[in-house]
Amino acid sequence: MPELPEVETSRRGIEPHLTGNVIQYSEVRNSRLRWPVSEQIMKLADQPVLSVRRRAKYLLLELPEGWIIIHLGMSGSLRILLKESPPEKHDHVDLIMADGKILRYTDPRRFGAWLWSDNLDECSVLAHLGPEPLSDVFDGEYLYTLSCNKKTVIKPWLMDNKVVVGVGNIYANEALYVAHILPERPVNSLTQEEAYLLADTIKQILHRSIEQGGTTLKDFLQSDGKPGYFAQELFVYGKKGELCPKCGEKIESIKLGQRSTFFCRQCQH
C-alpha cells in the first residue's frame, strides 16, 4: 500500500510535468473506483495546473476553478507518459496535457479515488485531519501535550489520522523500535523525553524514506515501468522470529488494533 513517502515521491515525480502545463482533456476508462470519479474530472477541458500539492496521503492538483483530489488507495500509482501508448487493463484514468504528455493512473484493486472539490476547506475527505508529520506543528511538545490524558495504546494512537497524518503501520512499528518504546504501552505513560524522541524519530524515518524514493523518480517516466513504490530498509516490520539488529533477541509479533505489530522486548520498554 502506498504510504506517505510514496505519495510524496509521486508528487515530486509528476509535479515538474504538470505545473504550468494545461490539461487538454481527461479520459476516464473506468470510473468505478472507491467512489465514482467526479463528473467535473470527466469533463475537464483546457485547464491549467497551478500547483501539485499533498495533504496526508491525498495528492491535490490545483486548477483555476477547483482541485482534483487523488488517493492511491491500496494499489494505485501515477506515471507520466511522454507520448500516447495503448492503455492496459488497469489504466483507469489519463489526463492528456497540452504538450502531449499524459498523466496515467493505474489501480488494479480500484480502492483509489479521483474526486473534485471547489473549496478544500469544505472538502469532507480532508476535514478533521491532524498535522503533517514533517511540519513544524508536529513536534515533541505537541505529541506530549496530546498524550497526557490518553489511556489508549500507543501504536494505534500514532496511526490515528487525527493525531498525525501519514504514519501507517510500517512507520509506526519502525518509529517505536527506533525510539525504544513498547507499542502496547498506554499513551499517557509517555514521558516528555520519549515524546520528543518519538516525534523526531517519525520525522527522520519519513525523511529517509522520501530520500530513498527519490532514486526511483525516473520510474515516473517509464511507460512500461513499475510504479514508484520502493523497498524500505526496515528494522522490525515483517521480521517476526528474525534477530533484532541491535541486541540479537528474537523479534516478536502481536496484533494491536487488528494490525500486525513487531517489536523487540529487549530494546523497547
Binding-site residues sit at 90, 109, 150
Reading the block at residue 48, the C-alpha cell is: 491549467
Measured in degrees and rounded to the nearest 5, phi and psi for residue 174 equal: -65, -45
Whether 16 is a known active-site residue: answer: no
Tell me which H or E stretch contains 145: helix 140-147
Q: Which is nearer to Zn ion, 103 or 264 (CB)?
A: 264
The reply to whether 148 sits near Zn ion by the rule CB under 5 A is: no
Based on CB atoms, which residue is closest to Zn ion, 198 or 244?
Answer: 244
Residue type, 18: L
Based on the residue annotation, tell me whether 3 is a catalytic residue of this protein. Answer: yes
129 CB-near residues (< 8 Å, 6+ apart): 55, 56, 161, 162, 165
Rounded to whole angstroms, how far apart are CA atoms 158 and 145? 14
- Smallest distance, Å, CB 182 to Zn ion? 12
Given 11, 54, 57, 104, the catalytic residue: 57
DSSP H helical ranges for 160-232: 169-178, 192-214
In the three-class reduction of DSSP (H, G, I as helix; E, B as strand; rest coil), residue 55 is classed as strand
Give the type of residue at 28. Answer: V
Residue 7 binds Zn ion (CB under 5 A): no
Q: How far is the CB of 164 from Zn ion (least distance, A)?
A: 25
Q: How far apart are CA 54 and CA 8, in angstroms?
A: 7
CB nearer Zn ion, residue 162 or residue 246: 246
Name the minimum Å distance from CB 181 to Zn ion.
13
Q: SS3 helix, strand, coil % of the chain, rounded to 5?
A: 30, 25, 45
Candidates 96, 115, 182, 264: give the one binding Zn ion (CB under 5 A).
Answer: 264
Judged by CB under 5 A, the chain residues 173 through 192 that form the site for Zn ion are none
246 in catalytic set:
no
Say how many Å lie between the first and final Cα of the chain, rounded. Answer: 29
Interface region with Zn ion, contact rule CB under 5 A, candidates 102-110, 171-179, 221-229, 246-254:
246-254
> What span, in angstroms and rounded, lies between the C-alpha atoms of 14 and 11?
5
Residue from 148, 246, 254, 257 touching Zn ion (CB under 5 A): that is 246
- Based on the residue annotation, tell me whether 227 is a catalytic residue of this protein: no
- Residue 165 binds Zn ion (CB under 5 A): no
Q: How far apart are CA 20 and CA 41, in angstroms?
A: 18
Q: How many residues bind Zn ion (CB under 5 A)?
A: 7
**Polymer length of the chain:** 269
**Rounded to the nearest whole angstrom, what is the least distance from the CB of residue 84 to Zn ion in the complex?**
53
Q: Is 45 exposed, middle or buried (0-12, 13-18, 19+ CB in 10 A)?
A: exposed
Question: What residues numbered 226-245 form the site for Zn ion, per CB under 5 A?
Answer: 244
Please select the residue that binds Zn ion; options are 20, 247, 254, 257, rule is CB under 5 A. 247
Site string for Zn ion, 23-52 (x = CB under 5 A): ------------------------------
Rounded to a whole number of angstroms, the minimum distance from the CB of residue 18 to Zn ion is 44
Residues with catalytic roles? 2-3, 57, 259
Binding residues for Zn ion, rule: CB under 5 A, are 244, 246-247, 249, 264, 266-267
